[in-house]
Amino acid sequence: MSEAPSSLEALLERFRYRPDEESAGLAELPTSSVEQEQEPGADGLQLLTFGLGKGEYAVGLGTVTEILRARTLTEIPRARSPLLGVLNLRGIITPVYDPSLRLGLPSTVPPCAGPDCPRPPRPARILVVRTALGPAGVWVDRVRGVQRVRSGALERPRGGLTGGVIGVLPTGEGSCTVVDPEWLLR
C-alpha cells in the first residue's frame, strides 16, 4: 500500500511545472493588432462610428459588446417609444431602442416588431451595448467602423442637446457626434 502514494507522487511530479524545463514546442502567440497600433504612452479613444439618417454618430468602443444584423424583434404590447421590441440574444432577453428619438431626429426605423413587419433594411445594425441594467440594443441605420482619435480632438458641443453628448469630432465630411450610449436609452 505504501507504493501507491509514492508512485502517484512520482506520476504527479512528472506533470508539475518546473521553472528549469524547456518550453520548446510552444507556439508564440501574435500580439493583438490593436495593441500594435497603440503607441506607448499615447492618449487616445477608440470610437465605433455609425449613421442615423444623414447624421454621423459614435460611441466608445469599450461599451459595445457586439454588432448584429438588424432582425425582426418581438413586439412588446403598449411599449413606449423609444423601445422598439426585444430580441433573444443567446438566452438573454435584450431590449432594442431607437436612438434617433433621443437625439431629436425623425425615426428612420421601419416597423420591426410583430408578425406583420417587413424585413429590416440590409445595412441596418443593432449595437449591443453594456449598461448598468444589462445588455441593450441600439438600432442604427449603418455602421461605419472603428476610429482611433486623440482625446484632445473632441470639441465641446455647440448649443442644442448636450446632456448625453460627450463631444463633436470634426471629420472630412463634416462632423461626428460622440454620445453616451446609456443616455440614448433613457
User: 146 in a domain, yes or no?
Assistant: yes
In a domain, 138, yes or no: yes
pTM over 0.85: no
- Asked if residue 2 has pLDDT above 60, the reply is no
Pairwise CA distance, residues 95 & 67, whole Å: 14
Provide the domain count of the chain. 1
Query: Within a domain: residue 23?
Result: no
Q: Is residue 59 part of a domain?
A: no
Q: What is the pLDDT of residue 30?
A: 41
Cis peptide bond upstream of 99, omega within 30: no
Locate cell 500500500: which residue?
Answer: 1
Q: Which domain holds residue 130?
A: 64-184
Residues 185, 134: Cα–Cα separation, whole Å: 12
d(CA 42, CA 64): 22
Least confident of 25-34, 77-86, 124-133: 25-34
Question: Looking at 119-128, 129-138, 154-163, which range is the least confident one?
Answer: 154-163
Residue 79 lies in a domain: yes
Q: For residue 156, what is the domain's CATH number?
A: 2.40.50.180
44 located within any domain: no
pLDDT of res. 87: 94
pLDDT band of residue 157 (cuts 50, 70, 90) is confident
> Does residue 143 belong to any structural domain of this protein?
yes
3-class SS of residue 57 = strand
Question: Whole-number mean pLDDT of the chain?
Answer: 80
Q: Is residue 47 part of a domain?
A: no
